[in-house]
Amino acid sequence: MNKNTDLSFLESVNSSFDLAANALDLPKGLARQIRTCNAVCEMKFGVELDDGYEIFTGWRATHSEHALPAKGGIRYAPFADQHEVEALAALMTYKCSIVNVPFAGSKGALCIDPKKYSLKELEHITRRFAQELDKRGLLGPGVNVPAPDMGTGQRMMSWIADEYQKLHPNEINARACVTGKPVHFGGVQGRIEATGRGVQYGIQEFFRHQDDVKKAGLSGNLEGKKIIVQGLGNVGYHAAKFLEEEDGALIVGIIERDGAILCDRGLCTEDLYQYKLEHGKIEGFSSGSFIEDGERALEQACDILIPAAMEGVITKMNANRIQAKIIAEAANGPVTFDANQILNQRGVFIIPDTYLNAGGVTVSYFEWLKNLSHVRFGRMERRFMEAQGSRIVRLMESTVDQPLDPIVKAELMKGPDEITLVRSGLEDTMCEAYQEIKEMHLSNSKIKDRRTAAFALAIRKVADIYDSMYL
C-alpha cells in the first residue's frame, strides 16, 4: 500500500475491529470468527431493456448469522464493489448489536447508475435482482431482509416485496422480506426520516452528558451550535432539518456534489432542499455564499461536522485541517482508520457511525415486527389510553376544582399513534446505546475512544451469543 493513501474502507473497518477486540479478553480465535464475512454472493444477470439486453452485476454479503434474519440495505451505485459491500455488511453486524436489534449483518449492492434508467427499466432491473436474491436463499422474512441505502428508496423496496410475494404466494409474512416500504404497502410511519432522526437523538444524548461535552471543548446544549453537513440526501437532509428546526442549531454549511453553501448566521435546510430538488444542484441558492470546492468546506470552523454522504471523506490528508470539535458520523465510514487516529490525538470527539446512523435499522426492526404481527402500532391501545387520560384529567380537575389548561388537557388525553410510538422507541434505543458505549469506554482502560468502545460493545455482545452456540 502507498504510504500516502489511507487503508481501504474494508481495511479501516477491520482495523477498528482489531483494536477493540484486542482490548477484550476473548477465547482464542473467536474475534477472527466474528470478524470474518461468512458469505458473499456475486450475481450477474441479464435484463431485457428497451435498447436490448444488458448484464448487471450485484452482490449480497452475509457477514454474520448468529441471529436471523440478516439485515442490511441495498445500494445502487456505479462505483459499488464487493469489498465495499463486505465492509458495509460488517458494519451492520456491529450496528445491530450496539442498538440491541436482534439481526445479523448483511448488505447488498448493484453496480448501476440509477439516473441513467427510466422508472420502468429500474422496476424491471430491481424485480430481476429480487429473483436472483430469492433463488439463492438471500431474500425472505426469516433469512435475509434488505432495506434502502444510497440510490434506493421506498418504491424499489415495494417492487422487491411484490416480487417476493409473487414467488411465495402462500407466505403469510411475505411483506416482511424487506423494510423501508411505503406505509400503504406494509411500511411503518417514520422510516424515511429514521436515520436522520436517530442522528438527531444521538447528538441530543451527547449533550446530556456534560462530561463528554466538556471533553469536546463545548458547553451548554444544541441551541446556537454551528453545524456543517455534507450530503443533503435522505440522512443529511433529515438530520439538518430536525437539528435546526427542533433544537435551534445553526446549519452554517451544507456540502453537496457541486460545492457548498456557507452561511454563518444559519441556513434554512428546507428551503435549500427544495431548491436542490428543483434545480438538481445547490449552486445559485439565494442565501449564503457558494464555493465550488466542497472538500474545503469540510475544513471550515464549526462545532459539529456531520458527514452524511459517503465513506472515506476524512482521510489522513485532511484530518489535520478539520476544525470541528465533534464529528458526528451520519454516513457509513466517512472517517478512515488513519484519520481517526489523527483526530483522536487532536482531541476531536467522534460519535461513531456504528452507533449514530443505526436509526434506520432500528426503525426497520419496528417495521419487520409490524409486518409479522400484522397490526399497526398503537391500534390496540390508543382508545384505551385516551380513556385512561380522560379519567386522569377528570380526577385532576375535581381535585383542584377548576378546568386544566386546554393544551395540557389535550396532551393528557391523546393516545399514542404509530409515529409517536416509533419515535419514542427510537429515542429510547439511541439513549440506551449511547450509555452502554460510554460505560464500555469508562470501564476498560485499554479503550481510548468511543469508536473503539462501540466496536468492543458489539464484539462483546456477539461473542456472548457465540458462547451459547455449538459451532
Active-site positions?
107
Q: Looking up cell 445479523, which residue turns up?
A: 104
Among 86, 212, 244, 256, binds ligand NAD (CB under 6 A): 256
Tell me the per-residue interface mask from 173 to 202 with ligand NAD, x by CB under 6 A, - otherwise: ----------------------x-------
Q: Which residues pair with 43 in a beta bridge?
A: 58
**DSSP string computed for 237-288:** HHHHHHHHHHH--EEEEEEETTEEEE-TT---HHHHHHHHHHHSSSTT-SSS
Report in angstroms how near the CB of residue 439 gets to ligand NAD at its nearest.
Answer: 24
Q: Which of 189, 332, 336, 354 forms a contact with ligand NAD (CB under 6 A)?
A: 332
Which range of residues in 46-54, 115-123, 253-261, 394-402 is near ligand NAD by CB under 6 A? 253-261
158, 181 Cβ separation under 8 angstroms = yes
Which residues pair with residue 289 across a beta bridge? Answer: 262
| Interface with ligand NAD in residues 307-326 (CB under 6 A) | 308-310
CB of 300 to ligand NAD, least distance (A): 14
Position of minimal CB gap to ligand NAD:
233
Figure out which of the listed residues 89, 254, 324, 331 binds ligand NAD, where binding follows CB under 6 A.
Answer: 331
Q: Near ligand NAD by CB under 6 A, which window of 138-146, 226-234, 262-270, 451-459?
A: 226-234
Position 191, amino acid? R
The least distance separating ligand NAD from the CB of residue 261, rounded to whole angstroms, comes to: 12
How many degrees, rounded to 5, is the angle at CA 455 between CA 453 and CA 456? 60
Gap between the Cα atoms of 354 and 202, Å rounded: 12
Q: How far apart are CA 286 and CA 311, in angstroms?
A: 30
Residue 259 is a binding residue for ligand NAD (CB under 6 A): no
Identify the residue whose cell numbers are 440510490. Answer: 151
Contacts 24+ apart (CB under 8 A), 240-243: 240/196, 240/269, 240/306, 241/196, 241/269, 241/270, 241/273, 242/193, 242/196, 242/197, 242/200, 243/200, 243/203
With left for phi above 0 and alpha for psi between -120 and 50, is residue 288 left, alpha or beta?
left
Q: Is the dihedral of CA 160, 161, 162, 166 positive or negative?
A: positive
Site string for ligand NAD, 273-302 (x = CB under 6 A): ---------------------x--------
Given the complex with ligand NAD, which of 97 and 195 has the nearer CB atom? 195
Q: Which is nearer to ligand NAD, 206 or 355 (CB)?
A: 355
Q: Out of 232, 456, 459, 462, which residue is the one contacting ligand NAD (CB under 6 A)?
A: 232
Taking 3-state DSSP, the helix, strand and coil percentages for the chain, each rounded to the nearest 5, stand at: 50, 15, 35
3-state class of 306 per DSSP? Answer: strand
Q: Select from 288, 302, 227 the least CA-distant residue to 260.
A: 288
Residue nearer to ligand NAD on the CB measure, 240 or 308: 308
Among 357, 362, 371, 429, binds ligand NAD (CB under 6 A): 357
Site size with ligand NAD, rule: CB under 6 A? 24
Residue number with CB closer to ligand NAD (331 or 462): 331
Contact flag: residue 360 with ligand NAD (CB under 6 A): yes
CB 70, min distance to ligand NAD, A? 16
Q: Minimum Å distance from CB 230 to ligand NAD?
A: 5
Give the bridge partners for 70, in sequence order: 104, 144
Mutual angle of helices 337-345 and 9-22, in 10-degree steps:
60
23 or 85, CB closer to ligand NAD? Answer: 85
CB of 307 to ligand NAD, least distance (A): 8
Which CB sits closer to ligand NAD, 313 or 393?
Answer: 313
Query: What is the contact surface with ligand NAD in residues (CB under 6 A)?
Result: 148-151, 195, 230-236, 255-257, 294, 308-310, 330-332, 357, 360
